[in-house]
Amino acid sequence: MLKITTPISEETIKSLKVGDSVLLSGRIVTARDAAHKLMVEEKPDFIREYLKDAVIYHCGPVVKQDAKGEWSFVSAGPTTSSREEPYQSTVIGEYGVRAVIGKGGMGPKTLAGLKEHGAVYLHAIGGSGSLTASRVKKVEKVFMMEEFGTPEAFWVVDVEDFPVIVTMDAHGNSLHAKILEESGKVYKELIGK
């Protein structure tokens, strides 16, 4: 199990290979559909400093606020990443993102962007929202909550030993594409074609 802390260098990212298990610590930023659309269409400056050499997490967290006004995560499971395929490569290049966390993998456009910009896709385990939330140690900031609502807002958080697996690397390898290809062959054998 590799331990990596943000900010992450391109050299560290390029040392990662498909199948590597990683415990991630440091700053990550949640971003879903509305956030990605905003980053591509309007290129807001307020989020740049939080994304440079850092990580985007496809997550719509469940949060709570205490009496002092401090936020914490109750559940923080990954959401399906494929919805961000039209945007992800552009966001990685524009903001200097080094890793994207989600579930289900992403497509060829993102894979090409990972290779071009020196980034990886990290698969988080779905269905483990409360366990994942326990790895979120602090909420630093939240942006666009009024405009987008809680799940779509940008949540800037610090995590400790957040467990992920590299399933798309900076060398053009995708575990998701490999499994799709292999399962397609088995399917053809099963149906006799």
- Chain segment 134-171, per-residue pLDDT in tens: 999 999 999 999 999 999 999 999 999 999 999 999 99
In this structure, the chain runs to a length of: 193
Is residue 190 over pLDDT 90? no
Is residue 180 over pLDDT 90? no
Residues 6+ apart with CB under 8 A from 174: 18, 105, 111, 121, 167, 168
Is residue 116 over pLDDT 70? yes
131 or 36, greater pLDDT: 36
Instruction: At 82, list the tokens.
Output: 């494929």
Annotated catalytic sites, by residue?
36
Q: For the residues 99-103, what does the mean pLDDT come to?
A: 97
Please tell me the pTM assigned to this model: 0.92
Band (pLDDT 50/70/90 cuts) for residue 179 is low
The rounded mean pLDDT for the chain is 94
